[in-house]
Amino acid sequence: MTAYILRRLLYAIPILIGVNLITFLLFFVVSSPDDMARMQLGVKRVTPEAIATWKRERGYDRPLLFDQEATGPGKVTNTIFFTKSVRLFAFDFGSSDSGRDIGFDIAQRMWPSLAIAVPVLLVGLAVNISLALFIVFFRATYIDYASVVLLVAMMSISGLFYIIGGQYLLSKLFHLVPISGYDTGPAAWKFLVLPVIIGVIGGIGTGTRWYRTLFLEEIGKDYVRTARAKGLSERLVLFRHVLRNALIPILTGVVVVLPLLFMGSLITESFFGIPGLGSYTIDAINNQDFAIVRAMVFLGSVLYILGLLLTDISYTLVDPRVRLG
C-alpha cells in the first residue's frame, strides 16, 4: 500500500501543474496585470507610474509564461507563472494582491466553512439514507412512485430557490433566525441553523435518489434472496444485509468529499454572509485578486486528489477482498 500511495502522490504533481497552468491562462485571458493594478489601486485615473510600481512590488512586471530576453532556464523561471506557482507546492501561499497573508486568511476562514459543511454532511447522510431505506421498503408501491417523482422535482429546483425561500419563511416571515451574518463562539449557532437546514433539504433529491438506486441493486442479489429464505424479516434484510453491503459506494461518496469540506460553499456563504473560504474565493474573483484565486484552486485540487486517495484506501477497510496494486 505504501508503494501505491507514493505512486499516486507522484501522479498528482503533473495534475497540479496542469490545473495551475489552466487557472493561470484563464485568469490572465480575462484580465491583464494592468487591469489588476487599476482594480487594486481603486482610482479611475491612476498614473502609469503607479501601475508600474504596483506590478513591480507584487512581481507582475515579468513576462507571463516565457521570457525571450533571458538565457537558459531563466526563460522559464523569470516569469509570472513560475514565480507565482513554484511556492504553492511547498504550501506557501504568500500574500494576496491587497497585501493580506493568504495562509492566515485560510486558517481563519476554514472554521466557518466547516461549521456549515460538517453538519450538512452528517445530517444529510442520515436523512438521505433513512429516506432511501423507507422508500425501498415500500418499493413498487404508490409510495415508491410518488417519492421518485418528488425527488426528481427536488433535484430540478435550483439551490437558489431553497436559499431565498428559506430566508423568506424562517427569517423574514417567522423571524426565527437571522437572515444573514455570522458571529464567533457559541452565538454562531443561530447564524448556522438556516444554512444547514437549507443545505440538507437541498441535497435530499439527489442524495436520496442515489441511495435508493444503490439499495435496489443490492436487493436483487442472491444473498438477499438467501436471507429471505432463512426467514429474516424485510426490516432485518434491509438493515443487516443490504445497508452493510452498500457501504462501499456510500463510503466512496462520503470519503471523497471529506477533504473538500474545508473549501466551503460559494453560493451559500455568499448569500448568508458567512466569512468562509467560499465567500473568500468569490470576493477574490470579484476583486481580480489572482493570488487568492490561484491559492484556492490549488488547495481545492490537492484536497480533491487527497479525497480520491482516501477513498481507495477506505475500500480495503470495508472490503478485505480489495487490494491496492
pLDDT tens by residue, 158-200: 899 999 999 999 999 999 999 999 988 888 899 999 999 999 9
Beta bridge partner(s), residue 95 = 101
Burial class (CB in 10 A: 0-12, 13-18, 19+), 286: exposed
What global pTM score does this model have? 0.85
Q: Grid cell 425527488 — which residue?
A: 151
Amino acid identity at 236: L
Nearest to 294 by CA among 112, 87, 100, 54: 87
For residue 253, give the C-alpha cell. Answer: 461518496
Where does the pLDDT of residue 251 fall: very low under 50, low under 70, confident under 90, or very high at 90 and above?
confident
CA dist 324 and 33 (Å) reads 46
What does the pLDDT average to over 74-92?
A: 87
Residues 206, 155: contact at Cβ < 8 Å? yes
Assess contact for 289 and 299: CB atoms under 8 A. no
Grid cell for residue 92: 506557501
Rounded mean pLDDT, 24-51: 82
State the burial class of residue 65 (Cβ atoms within 10 Å of its Cβ: 0-12, 13-18, 19+).
middle
